[in-house]
Structure 1
Amino acid sequence: MPSALFRQFILKVHNRCDLACDHCYVFEHADQSWRNRPAVMSTRTMRRAAERIAEHAREHGLAEVCLVLHGGEPLLAGPDRLGELITAAREPLRGICDVEFRLHTNGVLLDTGFCELFRREGVLVGVSLDGDRAANDRHRLYRDGRSSYDKAVRAIGLLRHDFPELYSGLLCTIDVANDPIAVYEALLDHEPPAIDFLLPHHTWDDPPPRPTVTAYADWLSAIFDRWLAGGRPVPVRTFDSIINAGRGGPSLTESLGLEAGDLVVIESDGGYEQADSLKTAYDGAPETGMDVFRHSVDEVGRHAGVAEGRGGLAALCEVCRSCPVVAVCGGGLRAHRYRGDSSGFANPSVYCEDLSALIAHVQRGSARRLGALPAPVLRSLATGYGDPAAIAWLRRSQTVGGRALLAAVGARSEAPAAWNTLREVEGLAPSALDAVLAHPYVRVRAVRRLRSLEESDDRTDDGLLATVACVAAAKAGTRSTLTVPVRDGDVYLPTVGRYRVPGRERTTVQVGDGRFTVEGATGMDPVRRLRAGAASVALDDLDPFRDCHDWPASERLDEERFQEWQTCFQQAWELLEKDYGEYAPGIAEALTTIVPLDVPHPGSNVSSAARDAFGAVGIALPEDPATLCLLLLHEFQHVKLGAVLDFVDLYDRNDERRFHAPWREDPRPLEGLLQGTYAHIAVADFWRRRCRVPQADTVAEAERHFGKWYPETLAAVGTLQSSEALTGLGEQFVALMRATLESWDPSVPTARSD
């Protein structure tokens, strides 16, 4: 087993406390080992601990470690002893790695003397406060019942006004008996750099008090809504972790996410322990039997309990492994999974239902409102192109969103067999589920289903979960038998095809060995694919939810018409790869589906991208491959920007003004202008590059079109920039669009004559 890699070290510099908080996991819960340890850590112990940390940092090439001065209450050690301990900790690490010092305190002893010490030593200070006076006095009291509130608030004021560089934030333990908005606003009044809301430590043997099944989720959701509506005025670690982990990034807290924990506790006697929260499980739960005098940090990493806590998905129970949100939840804090029977920690969190509900709520809200695109991805896309890595990020993020949508439908639909199959597949082969969710019209259908549920609350199974589950099971190689509704005599399995099942309202689909047996089926029309070079896309003329474009979708094409599509697509793709290389890899990465459209009249060129159908475009087959190439470029721009707008706000969505778009007679709302401008970067680029084609008639046509679209697109960029409706991120995005246009040489004859 490889050595663990620790970056955070919790140092118990004082192992007693001046308060008697009844929710304290150190003194009031199952583990009482504090009674047998020295009250204050010696400088000898601290120096040896730092030497062990230095060994670990050197071995693993760490550039920085975080040392957290903790307790009990660390300020009980006094400023002189704390100064000695900080010096003892700093010296062995000098020249090996940088050290960030933090200190967590209840604040009642914090004064100018302590703060001057912390300023000299660069120690950041976090203070525990549970809200306003009434909320704080529920738990944070002296043993004689006196309130600690005024002293804690005085300490926070000292940090805010006299030592702001030391003030790192507030820690609040949740009590659902307190009003969540009153607590949040009371904390916000102290202008904290960050807020951390902590679930009180409980297990299945000692469950948390809760008036409803999701009381803690409801409490936090109320704060999240106020936080989001207020423009996220302060980082809140729980919310930021859910948002980050839900989009493929790391969690920011040990209580969420699947990342391996990177902290170890060093007690006042030098003993290594696992996370302090385990003290709530049973007496001795966090012990390792090791100490800094006899054992290295790497040896602690090989301890069975530590390894289990760092085991990720594999270390979770079967229920957690099969949960659609496990990548975000991570099973919750390990201590909260404990049950004092043979199962031990192999359980869902005692807060499981709260975590599921909270994650769903935060992801729904954040998907609409928050900017979470990595800066390199956003910049790449803002140029109008988007490198393959950026397009791949969009595709992965859309898949995560698809999982969240499916989970939301599953939570409100009455299809338990289908839902159980989906959870099983997600646990065994998540890529199989993702492959089905990548089909654009699964998302379209899920969005419509959720809207329908919100309007009517009709939970009758509509077949979405069942058909997705059938295909996912087949791709995963598992067996399943599910009942699905028949729609207009057909059963459509996404990405697979349409089964004709006349005379039935419902039928049974059996999945085995990657194949489907549909009871009562009299025939099957497969989804056909267009192939050329690196591209392989479905030509979907079957999906019942494909008809969401600006023009009607074609019915099933005969074989001759399909071959016309194949020939035209192959030639268009060859042109795309040859002359439009910056676009081709991204399109090959994320374009999964083309829906053939009916033309409104012969000879017209029409195309469309649907807002909820990432990866799909609708196109009426044009007369020549070059036009098909142009339409693919144009519509894929809309696909990319639509995905960007799922994650970031580029403009004020409350601005209802309309603006002139050079290519439209009717004025456009800001999003319409932004979409059109972004798409016409590719249109202008298409004709710019066609000017290089040696045929005289082609060059003349290209120069004419470039002379029209280039200045019009540049003018539209100017309209966006002068609108005063772009967000700061939107301003940056549009500026990069302009930079791309201005990097071109517009000196073609028609452009000059205009």
Structure 2
Amino acid sequence: MDGPWRPLRHFVLKVHSRCDLACDHCYIYEHADQSWRGRPVTMAPATVRAAAGRIAQHAARHGLARVGVILHGGEPLLLGAGRLRAVLEELRGTITAVCELDLRMQTNAVRLDAPTCELLLDHRVRVGVSLDGGRADNDRHRRYRNGASSHAKVRAALELLRRPRYRPLYAGLLCTVDPANDPQSVYEALLAEDPPRIDLLLPHATWDEPPAPVGPWLRAFHERWAAAGCPVPVRLFDSIRSLGLGGPSQTEAVGLDDGDVVVIETDGAWEEPDSMKTTVDGGAATGLTVFDASADDVTDLPAMRRRRSGLSALSDTCRSCDLVRQCGGGLTAHRWSAARGFDNPSVYCDDLKELIIAINEHPGPVAGDLGALPADAFDGLAYGYGDAAAVALLADAELAVNRALVGEVVGETAAGGRLLADLERRAPEVFDEVLRHPFVRSWAVSCLDGGGSDCDPDWTAAIAAAVAVRAGIEAEIPVRAHGGRIHLPTVGFFAAPAAEVTVIPEPGGFTLRWPGGRTQVPGARNGWHEARWVTVDGVRILLEDADPYRDRLEHAAAGHLDAAAAGGWSAVLAQAWDHLAADAPEQLDGLRQGLRAIVPLAPAPDGTLRSATSRHAFGALGLARADDPAALAVLLVHEFQHTKLGAVLDLIDLVPDDAVTERLRVGWRPDPRPVEAALQGAYAHLAVADVWRRRDNPELFRMYRDWTAEAIDALLTGDRLTPAGARFVRRMADTVHSWPG
């Protein structure tokens, strides 16, 4: 059941173990684990120093670019200004010497005032505030020990955080769900505080102490939120929707993402997340402290390994459920029972199912013009993947583009236009298959751009002949030679002995006729070369080594392949596909749907890997053959990202017109890149980083991840993207930020 070893990147520091409220639903004071009673009230300076050192040590050992630290309690503001400043200075001084530090605090906010906000602003600490709704909702649980309400003080603190000066501190609201509260009134009360984000926390419970049902409450809250246009991110809802589209989770409450959170108590003890305190007394304990054990030691513990075990850590009930990849079995602690340990579904299983089904059926509207792409397809692609349905939408849209461009070249009333229209009517499926050929568009664009001698406007006859031959439609179609060849896209080519050859389809093949000669296909040694197709994992891919319009890529295309070379391509592609199944499984369905042709490229003189795509050849990847199938798999992923994003850009403006002259610095090129080129590169490198992450190659993973993250930050700065473009890049950021390390 042990999961893969991964470094930790989120640390919770219990800087104060007591609280000034007496919330009766608190998982620290009111549940099975009572270890807080024997711990120091505050974290001593030496313990803070040791904790900061362990975090910095872990980040340095594993080359982490960024770690997150959350100050927690009890109530962290009970530290007082002086001790809080000392903690922040120690953390900033020690950890930022090694990596970037994302520093946050979770507080009940009753002690948050302007001087404290100034201190937090100085140290760039973002603040999450606990609030369960309006006064009646909040007072149900969040009261002082004497029963007095805390609501007014919390609202005063939130008013402070909404001021322009302190708004950068405001991270969001944490609301513990109580089905006794009205979800509509809770929603309105939370929205009134203008939060950057809302977290909904399910009350911690186990099978030994089951909770009241919360599914109807969650569904009602979601319906109200969706009806309002999803005005603020709700982490639970956004995570469920993201997981349904193949994207990452933003919370450990759902999904199968690796658990990477660890707690350091006031006495320096390393512990599992606080939710485990609801299971048994000592349920979160590890037996290790920051004084005698490193973060690496913690990650090696069986309990922490279990949190990274994905499906294998779940019960049979969970593994057989259709929704498991979205639910992920829920929070680990919520699976507990004394009789079976964690070998149960979540005690909230029915509630999570109800919510997931509601979100899948009614995800809510999406801001921005997404053109012909539904929101789920758009977001699935933006996360860096895109399932078969999303890529099929892109392919259909590109077919429509090809149709329009071909029609513009030949004209509907011209002879070529009438011939194509007749063939489409008689064999619509075959017609579409030929027009989907990537280099039909390359030809049309060349003609419309004034391609000169390189463009043959009469090539429409070759397209028509290809349709007629494949469909077996009786016709006589004269086709002009191009570069000494007659090329029928997706069918093959003929070394033409004349300037024009007539193609005559007939049962079982076709005849090629020219002045003074003719030959039949199939036939022996007749000069005809059939198009080379390879089948990999049931996918039929054209090895395009002859199309006269394939040479529109950054690198030169290789010549015609002989049988041995074609066989070599077939073998290495099959092996590369096996690597994709292991290292890029989320990309496979999209590749199966959208990859139509591979153009063998001339190898680089220095032997380096070489690949390319064209914006005007959807589904075609140019690759110089690599003898290493693992390397070829990376090239396939990289270039297919470009072809997907090119299709998205055909449908939706992600970059505004006034940004075309801007240039951005990117890690993978020495020269500043146009905004769209930076977006293309970041999108490709996101997928490549994911491959190296799965291959457990830390050096290459970090390089590609950092390139991607830096480009994303630059793209999201200023007005470099349209609203749809900003949404797309934020989804990319969600994926990058979900990766451990």
TM-score of the superposed pair, with normalisation by structure 1: 0.53
Q: Distance in 1 between matches of 2:39 and 2:279?
A: 19
Q: C-alpha displacement at 1:230, in angstroms? A: 2.3
2:188 matched to which residue of 1? Answer: 185
Q: Distance in 2 between matches of 1:731 and 1:346?
A: 42
Q: C-alpha displacement at 1:227, in angstroms? A: 2.0
How far does the alpha carbon of each residue in 1:434-471 deviate from its partner, in whole angstroms, 9 at most, with x for none? xxxx9xxxxxxxxxxxxxxxxxxxxxxxxxxxxxxxxx
What SS does structure 1 have at the residue aligned with 2:362? helix
Q: Distance in 1 between matches of 2:552 and 2:314?
A: 43
Equivalent residues of 2:269, 2:288 under 8 A apart? yes
1:217 matched to which residue of 2? Answer: 215
1:351 aligns with 2:344: no
Equivalent residues of 1:394, 1:644 under 8 A apart? no
How far does the alpha carbon of each residue in 1:133-161 deviate from its partner, in whole angstroms, 9 at most, with x for none? 11101111112211111111111111112
Q: C-alpha displacement at 1:571, in angstroms? A: 9.9
**Are the structure 2 counterparts of residues 282 and 225 from structure 1 closer, same or farther at C-alpha, using a change threshold of 3 Å?**
same
How far does the alpha carbon of each residue in 1:334-372 deviate from its partner, in whole angstroms, 9 at most, with x for none? 00000111x201111011111112112112223875789
Q: Report the residue type matching 2:306 in the other structure.
A: E
Q: Distance in 2 between matches of 1:257 and 1:297?
A: 24
2:334 matched to which residue of 1? Answer: 336
Q: C-alpha displacement at 1:225, in angstroms? A: 2.4
Which residue among 149, 171, 182 is the counterpart of 1:168?
Answer: 171
Q: C-alpha displacement at 1:390, in angstroms? A: 9.2
> Where does structure 2 lack aligned partners over 5 or more consecutive residues?
396-429, 438-470, 474-504, 511-520, 523-528, 534-541, 558-572, 574-588, 597-618, 620-643, 655-721, 729-741
Which residue among 49, 70, 73 is the counterpart of 1:71?
Answer: 73
Q: Report the residue type matching 2:265 in the other structure.
A: E
1:54 matched to which residue of 2? Answer: 56
What SS does structure 1 have at the residue aligned with 2:363? helix
Q: Distance in 1 between matches of 2:547 and 2:389?
A: 26
1:246 matched to which residue of 2? Answer: 244
TM-score of the superposed pair, with normalisation by structure 2: 0.54
How far does the alpha carbon of each residue in 1:54-91 deviate from its partner, in whole angstroms, 9 at most, with x for none? 11000110111111000011111111111111122222
Which residue among 285, 288, 297 is the counterpart of 1:287?
Answer: 285
* Paired positions, count: 455
Q: C-alpha displacement at 1:226, in angstroms? A: 2.5
Q: Distance in 2 between matches of 1:562 and 1:202?
A: 72
Q: Distance in 2 between matches of 1:581 and 1:369?
A: 39
Q: Report the residue type matching 1:107 in the other structure.
A: A
Equivalent residues of 1:258, 1:327 under 8 A apart? yes
Equivalent residues of 1:132, 1:183 under 8 A apart? yes
**What does 1:69-148 correspond to in 2, within 5 Å?**
69-148=71-150
Q: Distance in 1 between matches of 2:301 and 2:507?
A: 62
Equivalent residues of 1:195, 1:235 under 8 A apart? yes
Q: Report the residue type matching 2:209 in the other structure.
A: D
Of residues 310-319 and 199-208 in structure 1, the stretch that sits farther from structure 2 once superposed is 310-319
2:549 matched to which residue of 1? Answer: 579
Q: Report the residue type matching 1:89 in the other structure.
A: L
2:227 matched to which residue of 1? Answer: 229
Which residue among 357, 362, 369 is the counterpart of 2:359?
Answer: 362
**What does 1:649-728 correspond to in 2, within 5 Å?**
728=723
1:207 matched to which residue of 2? Answer: 210
2:32 matched to which residue of 1? Answer: 30
**Are the structure 2 counterparts of residues 88 and 180 from structure 1 closer, same or farther at C-alpha, using a change threshold of 3 Å?**
same
How far does the alpha carbon of each residue in 1:9-58 deviate from its partner, in whole angstroms, 9 at most, with x for none? 10000000111111100000010000010010001000001111111000
Q: Report the residue type matching 1:112 in the other structure.
A: A
> Where does structure 1 lack aligned partners over 5 or more consecutive residues?
211-215, 383-388, 402-437, 439-527, 536-556, 594-614, 616-639, 651-726, 734-754
What SS does structure 2 have at the residue aligned with 1:152? helix
1:318 matched to which residue of 2? Answer: 316
How far does the alpha carbon of each residue in 1:516-567 deviate from its partner, in whole angstroms, 9 at most, with x for none? xxxxxxxxxxxx9x999x99xxxxxxxxxxxxxxxxxxxxx99999967999
Q: Report the residue type matching 1:189 in the other structure.
A: A
**Are the structure 2 counterparts of residues 732 and 114 from structure 1 closer, same or farther at C-alpha, using a change threshold of 3 Å?**
closer
1:273 aligns with 2:271: yes
Equivalent residues of 2:229, 2:364 under 8 A apart? no
**Are the structure 2 counterparts of residues 732 and 113 from structure 1 closer, same or farther at C-alpha, using a change threshold of 3 Å?**
closer
Q: Report the residue type matching 1:729 in the other structure.
A: A
Larger relative contact order, structure 1 or 2 (CA cutoff 8 Å, min sep 6): 2
Give percent identity, aligned residues only: 48
Q: Report the residue type matching 1:24 in the other structure.
A: C
Equivalent residues of 2:315, 2:343 under 8 A apart? yes
Q: Distance in 1 between matches of 2:594 and 2:227?
A: 35
Of residues 557-566 and 303-312 in structure 1, the stretch that sits farther from structure 2 once superposed is 557-566
Equivalent residues of 2:21, 2:142 under 8 A apart? yes
Q: Distance in 1 between matches of 2:383 and 2:90?
A: 50
What SS does structure 1 have at the residue aligned with 2:147? coil
Equivalent residues of 1:56, 1:297 under 8 A apart? yes
Q: Report the residue type matching 2:46 in the other structure.
A: R
Q: C-alpha displacement at 1:318, in angstroms? A: 1.5
Q: C-alpha displacement at 1:581, in angstroms? A: 7.7
How far does the alpha carbon of each residue in 1:283-326 deviate from its partner, in whole angstroms, 9 at most, with x for none? 11110000000000000001111111121111111111122121
Equivalent residues of 2:391, 2:590 under 8 A apart? no
**Are the structure 2 counterparts of residues 332 and 157 from structure 1 closer, same or farther at C-alpha, using a change threshold of 3 Å?**
same
How far does the alpha carbon of each residue in 1:600-624 deviate from its partner, in whole angstroms, 9 at most, with x for none? xxxxxxxxxxxxxxx9xxxxxxxxx
State the superposition RMSD in angstroms.
4.7
Equivalent residues of 1:4, 1:298 under 8 A apart? no
**What does 1:605-684 correspond to in 2, within 5 Å?**
none
1:729 aligns with 2:724: yes
**Are the structure 2 counterparts of residues 19 and 372 from structure 1 closer, same or farther at C-alpha, using a change threshold of 3 Å?**
farther
Q: Report the residue type matching 2:205 in the other structure.
A: H
Q: Distance in 2 between matches of 1:321 and 1:397?
A: 24
What SS does structure 1 have at the residue aligned with 2:88? helix
Equivalent residues of 2:226, 2:364 under 8 A apart? no
Equivalent residues of 1:247, 1:400 under 8 A apart? no
2:606 matched to which residue of 1? Answer: none
**Are the structure 2 counterparts of residues 61 and 146 from structure 1 closer, same or farther at C-alpha, using a change threshold of 3 Å?**
same
Q: Distance in 1 between matches of 2:171 and 2:106?
A: 10
Q: Distance in 2 between matches of 1:227 and 1:218?
A: 14
Equivalent residues of 2:60, 2:98 under 8 A apart? yes
Q: C-alpha displacement at 1:576, in angstroms? A: 9.5
Q: Report the residue type matching 1:9 in the other structure.
A: F
Equivalent residues of 2:230, 2:364 under 8 A apart? no
